[in-house]
Structure 1
Amino acid sequence: MAIRDRGKIKWNPASFMPEGFAMTREMYKDQMRQAKPILDEYQTEEFDLRIKYAMEYRHAVKISVWCDGFITDYTGGIQRVEPITHELRLEVNPGEYERIAFDDVTAVKVVD
Structure 2
Amino acid sequence: MNINKLTPGYNLRWESSRMMLPEHREQFLSNKIDKKRINKPILDENQLEEIDNHLHLAIGFHYLVKFSLWMEGFTKEITGHIHYIDVLNKHVRIVDLNGKVHRIENRSIIDINFID
Unmatched 5+ stretches in structure 2: 1-15
Over 3 Å counting, the alpha-carbon distance change for 1:49 and 1:22 in structure 2 is: same
- 2:96 is matched with 92
Q: In 2, Cα distance between the equivalents of 1:61 and 1:93?
A: 10
Q: In 1, Cα distance between the equivalents of 2:64 and 2:48?
A: 19
Q: In 1, Cα distance between the equivalents of 2:115 and 2:32?
A: 33
Structure exhibiting the larger radius of gyration computed from Cα positions: 2
Q: In 2, Cα distance between the equivalents of 1:111 and 1:76?
A: 9
Higher helix share: 1
- 2:12 is matched with none
Unmatched 5+ stretches in structure 1: 1-10
Q: TM-score, normalised by structure 2?
A: 0.78
Aligned residues: 101
Higher strand share: 1
Q: Runs ≥4 in structure 1, deviation > 4 angstroms?
A: none
CA RMSD after TM alignment: 1.9
Highest RCO, 1 vs 2 (Cα 8 Å, sep ≥ 6): 1
